[in-house]
Amino acid sequence: GAVVSQHPSRVICKSGTSVKIECRSLDFQATTMFWYRQFPKKSLMLMATSNEGSKATYEQGVEKDKFLINHASLTLSTLTVTSAHPEDSSFYICSAPRQGANQPQHFGDGTRLSIL
């Protein structure tokens, strides 16, 4: 079964709305989680690294104020797309590695965000 749960799976909302996406590790603690964005028929691009108890590390070109990341506990990271616009429509995917050397990452099922 799934070890990383991502919610919601699909969101459709009006322009200007803020949308929160949750990523939970179900049976392990994750001090680090990763947020990716996937454009249609394109690859996944790393947006940011979410660090439990500290600020997220954003990749170049990703707006920190647009994509707010909070990692308040060892099992939960949230991505909030603030004042979303149609160009923010995309597929967002989180991943979390188990702790320990060379542990694989587990991916959530993704969230399809559609901004009208």
Where along the sequence are the contacts to another protein (CB under 8 A)? Answer: 6, 32, 34, 36, 41-46, 49, 93, 95, 97-105, 107-110
Min CB(15)–another protein separation in Å = 25
Query: Do the Cβ atoms of 67 and 49 come closer than 8 Å?
Result: no
By beta-carbon proximity to another protein, the closer residue of 17 and 57 is 57
By beta-carbon proximity to another protein, the closer residue of 34 and 67 is 34
Min CB(24)–another protein separation in Å = 13
How far apart, in Å, are the Cα atoms of 32 and each of 21, 41, 53, 106? 16, 27, 10, 12
How far apart, in Å, are the Cα atoms of 36 and each of 14, 50, 56? 22, 11, 13
- Taking the C-alpha atoms of residue 50 and residue 27, their distance in angstroms, rounded to an integer, is 18
By beta-carbon proximity to another protein, the closer residue of 55 and 85 is 55
Q: Tell me if the bond preceding 8 is cis, omega within 30° of 0.
A: yes
Min CB(22)–another protein separation in Å = 14
Query: Do the Cβ atoms of 67 and 87 come closer than 8 Å?
Result: no
Min CB(100)–another protein separation in Å = 8
By beta-carbon proximity to another protein, the closer residue of 7 and 17 is 7
